[in-house]
Amino acid sequence: MKNEENLAYFLNEAKTIKPRELGKKLRVAFLASSTINGFEETMRVKCYQKGIDCVTYVADYNQYNQEILNENSGLYQFKPDITFLILDTRHILGDYFFSLYSVIDDDRSKIISKKINEIGNICNTFTKNSDSKLVVTSLQIPNYSPYGIDDGHVMTSLRRIISEINTELFQWNLQYKLLTYDFDQFVRKYGENNIFNYKQFFSGDIKISTEYIPKFIDELMRYVYAVTGMTKKCIVLDLDNTLWGGIIGEDGFDNIKLGDNPVGRAFVEFQKRLLALNQRGILLAINSKNNFDDAIEVIQKHPSMILREDNFACVKINWEDKVENLQKISKELNIGLDSMVFFDDDPINQEYVKKSLPEVTIVDLPRDSSQYSQIITEMKEFEVLRITEEDTKRSSMYLGQKKRKELENKVGDFNEFLKHMNIHVEVKKANSFTIPRISQLTLKTNQFNMTTKRYQEEEVSKFSSSDNKIVECVQVSDKFGDNGITGTYIIEKKNDEEWIIDTFLLSCRIMGRGVEEIMMNQIIEKARLFGIKRIKAEFIPTAKNKPAENFYQKLGFNKENNFWVFNTDNTMKKPEHIKVIKNE
């Protein structure tokens, strides 16, 4: 283990970090049924390294029940954003952990439901008392069984009972705020004999050995990425020795390594991993120095190629500078450089991009291609708390985007192009289908976002059921297909005269086609119906939302102190090329 990865490093580093003025804030609470020293220190340091100022709350040793049950506990006063409840099998099962032999078969289900109820009750109490996300760990399935090789068929099998408890825990994921972390998966990865150290357990009730605490916190960081909206959106790939072995320009179509031979299999497997990520919403792009015709021939025609042209949202195969290509990809896809991950086998390119574009995540690809698949499967940067329908459709949406661009270039005149597009905007209310996506939009949209307020699902849900708020979203489609739900606004009904725009945002891939004007007209029309005189809005500048800066001025809002105000007696310009469908 490198120095930077061992617990001593994190313990010492945690003493030196100081909060920064700008930067994301995160409040994390830890509750556990065993000693968890070192957890919060490691988490604070890991967050700090990613630009997040994390403050933590650690419940006293084995006090999680009391902390959750007492409405005035320090836990609730701390107001966490994420709470980790780290349970362990020994604690939950007590003496059953050692033997279930005395239990008659009929009582099995009773044990299971009793344990599940215990865990369920505290989780429910917590979610009632707090807005925090609650991540509860599933139970580890022990390696050892007193029944030995016969464990599988014994009805009182410990492993079976724990599996059934776990299955139930994962069902809870269907609720808003509860997330179950598959702890058993963590133990499978590193091994029970490494993670559980009897000496540390007997002498200090340590159930995750000190050596593996940083690895465990790495796992919990997945939630941090997802909750703080740091998820990467796009993987940019080199071609030669990255997607296939060898160099197409030198080795030729028939001699590159891709297919059923040792090296070829490594690249096929890597491509399959990439495809799976692509199918669940991560965009792929190519940035390669090659003759376009040579390389595209492989992508189109090579029999063992897994990724085809349609899997790539953007293709840059040319002799231009790799950094410039990356910037172009970022611009064309409307995705920030800090949402990109770059895979390139050449250490010189890795270094060059790292120096020129520090925002881009550069994967340290080794020479050995057999490691590529493992590297991508260990990345934690693609986590989202819930994969929405939009995610799974994203790739085809971007394909539509590519075709829109082609039409735009063909038509030449932008207004003419918009008329050709047949844009439809459907206004939808927040409901159980749209709330996850609305939350996701507030978490991920950076550019056309007037206030950049980040809201979790349960907050959006609360707003939508409040009489003082309006939460709506728009689904945009055109002749090239459905863009999905790409814009949302949240209005605060301040009084009978005035509404305040709390949130107004549009996904960057739709920006500039008149949809934002349609959304604002929608708000104004609704306000007039309610007899509202003034719409008050705010533009909160961030490092990224410059594209939205002049929006209110352009639509006829007047500046009053720090706010933009629109008088509903005035008319607002409305784009005529868009058809609006209302779902009142």
Binding residues vs other proteins (CB under 8 A): 6-8, 11-12, 15, 35, 37-38, 198-200, 202-204, 206, 210-211
For other proteins, the closer CB: 40 or 168: 40
For other proteins, the closer CB: 70 or 210: 210
Query: Closest distance between other proteins and the C-beta of residue 212, in Å?
Result: 10
Nearest alpha carbon to residue 560 among 469, 498, 468: 498
For other proteins, the closer CB: 12 or 466: 12
For other proteins, the closer CB: 198 or 319: 198
Could you give the CA distance from residue 583 to residue 434 in angstroms, rounded to a whole number?
A: 13
The two beta strands, 563-567 and 534-537, are antiparallel
Q: Are 30 and 84 in contact (CB under 8 A)?
A: yes
Query: Closest distance between other proteins and the C-beta of residue 230, in Å?
Result: 29
Token pair 């009391």 is at which residue?
66
For other proteins, the closer CB: 203 or 562: 203
Could you give the CA distance from residue 317 to residue 285 in angstroms, rounded to a whole number?
A: 10
Residue 91 CB coordination number (10 Å): 16
Q: What φ, ψ does residue 310 adopt, rounded to 5°?
A: -70, -15
In this structure, what token pair is assigned to residue 72?
Answer: 């005035």
Query: Closest distance between other proteins and the C-beta of residue 98, in Å?
Result: 20
Q: What is the 3-state secondary structure (H, E, C) of 200-224?
A: HHHHHCECCCHHHHHHHHHHHHHHH
Query: Closest distance between other proteins and the C-beta of residue 117, in Å?
Result: 34
Q: Are 497 and 479 in contact (CB under 8 A)?
A: no
Could you give the CA distance from residue 519 to residue 548 in angstroms, rounded to a whole number?
A: 14
For other proteins, the closer CB: 6 or 542: 6
Q: What φ, ψ does residue 428 adopt, rounded to 5°?
A: -125, 145
For other proteins, the closer CB: 11 or 111: 11
Token pair 């390696």 is at which residue?
143
For other proteins, the closer CB: 7 or 353: 7
In this structure, what token pair is assigned to residue 479?
Answer: 């002749």
For other proteins, the closer CB: 61 or 292: 61
Query: Closest distance between other proteins and the C-beta of residue 371, in Å?
Result: 24
Q: What φ, ψ does residue 423 adopt, rounded to 5°?
A: -75, 130
Query: Closest distance between other proteins and the C-beta of residue 1, in Å?
Result: 9
Q: Which residues contact 410 (CB under 8 A, 6 or more apart)?
A: none
Query: Closest distance between other proteins and the C-beta of residue 195, in Å?
Result: 13
In this structure, what token pair is assigned to residue 277?
Answer: 């990520």
Surface-to-core class of residue 146, CB atoms within 10 Å of its CB (0-12 exposed, 13-18 middle, 19+ buried): middle
Could you give the CA distance from residue 493 to residue 502 in angstroms, rounded to a whole number?
A: 10
Surface-to-core class of residue 485, CB atoms within 10 Å of its CB (0-12 exposed, 13-18 middle, 19+ buried): buried
- Please, what is the Cα angle at 292 between 289 and 293, to 5 degrees? 140
Query: Closest distance between other proteins and the C-beta of residue 198, in Å?
Result: 8
Query: Closest distance between other proteins and the C-beta of residue 41, in Å?
Result: 10
For other proteins, the closer CB: 102 or 203: 203
Token pair 């995610």 is at which residue?
391
For other proteins, the closer CB: 5 or 320: 5
For other proteins, the closer CB: 206 or 299: 206
Query: Closest distance between other proteins and the C-beta of residue 62, in Å?
Result: 16
In this structure, what token pair is assigned to residue 430?
Answer: 């927040």
DSSP labels, 259-272: SSSHHHHHHHHHHH
Helix (H, G, I), strand (E, B) or coil at 341: strand
Query: Closest distance between other proteins and the C-beta of residue 211, in Å?
Result: 5
Element (H, E) at 350: helix 347-356
Query: Closest distance between other proteins and the C-beta of residue 192, in Å?
Result: 18
